[in-house]
Amino acid sequence: MNTRLLPTLLAAATLLLAGCLPESKNPLSTPKTSTIDARLEGVYVARRDKKDDDLEGWHFHYRGAKVGANGQARTTPWLEVLDIEHRKDGGLKGNAYRVLTTHLGGQDYMSFIELGSDSGKGKASLYSFARYEVSWAGDIHVWLVNSGVLAKAIKSGKLHGTVKSHKYGEDVLLTDSTERLAAFVAASDPATLFSGKPLVLYRLAR
């Protein structure tokens, strides 16, 4: 369960009230098949619903790499995201994520993992999913995937995975292949699969 991500996004999204953020062993696209969405790169500030909410700054940047004998720089498909929270009751709090962006059925999606989480403890990294839209002004709206919809799909056999119930809700783990996950998302209603209140990020600079 990606517990450190929840306080950040739950402040702006209510779709996780019935349980924990669903996780997947595979992303919606591989690095080779992912899209590079240059619109995302830049510095943002998260919308504050209340005046006394903590200030959050977000930085989106596609990781570069040197290739070839001359060390020429190129852009990789890995989008790196840094979230810095200015906490009123403490110091700065930071979280970092690595993201693959995917275009399916006219919609844009993210498969993201938290850097320095389970992968640093000898465990395989698990992905979480979100849908996003970029406005004409460059602002980003992000919706997390609906845990209940995925749990229902697993129980009905449409997707492979496990659903573990507990007193707070359900833990959902997808074990399906990237191809089957992408096909399911592309065939689903995006407003149903990715529902709830969005996280809104206002662009400050590119």
- Please state the rounded mean pLDDT for residues 76-97: 88
- Looking at residue 17, the DSSP 8-state letter turns out to be T
Query: 109: burial class by Cβ within 10 Å (0-12, 13-18, 19+)?
Result: buried
Nearest Cα neighbor of 58 from 100, 99, 2 is 99
**181 lies in a domain?**
yes
**159 lies in a domain?**
yes
59 within 8 A of 41, measured Cβ to Cβ: no
Q: Find the domain containing 84 and state its range.
A: 6-205
Structure confidence at residue 15 as a pLDDT band (50, 70, 90): very low
Nearest Cα neighbor of 144 from 11, 15, 7, 18 is 15
What domain count does the chain have?
1
**62 lies in a domain?**
yes
Question: Does residue 28 or residue 19 have the better pLDDT?
Answer: 28
Angle at 175 between CA 102 and CA 62, to 5 degrees: 30
Q: Which of 54-58, 76-80, 119-123, 166-170 has the highest mean pLDDT?
A: 76-80
**178 lies in a domain?**
yes
Mean pLDDT is lowest, of 17-21, 71-75, 190-194, for 17-21
| Percent of the chain scoring above 90 in pLDDT | 61
Which pLDDT does position 47 carry in this prediction?
Answer: 85
**158 lies in a domain?**
yes
* Inter-CA distances, 205 with 45, 80, 184, 192, 201, Å: 10, 16, 35, 32, 12
Query: 123: burial class by Cβ within 10 Å (0-12, 13-18, 19+)?
Result: exposed
- Here the tokens at position 100 are 């693959």
- Looking at residue 54, the DSSP 8-state letter turns out to be P
Cβ-proximal residues to 189 (8 Å cutoff; 6+ apart), any chain = none
Residues in the chain: 206
Burial 25-53 (b: 16+ CB within 10 A, else e): bbbbbeeeebeebeebebebebbeeeeee
When the pLDDT of each residue in the chain is averaged and rounded to a whole number, the result is 85
**1 lies in a domain?**
no
Mean pLDDT is lowest, of 71-75, 110-114, 191-195, for 71-75
**150 lies in a domain?**
yes
Measured distance CA(181)–CA(34) in Å, rounded: 14
> Model's pTM, two decimal places?
0.83
Which pLDDT does position 121 carry in this prediction?
Answer: 54
- Here the tokens at position 90 are 């403490």
With a cut of 90, say whether residue 56 has pLDDT above it. Answer: no
Structure confidence at residue 54 as a pLDDT band (50, 70, 90): confident
How many CA atoms does the CB half-sphere of 63 hold within 13 Å?
15
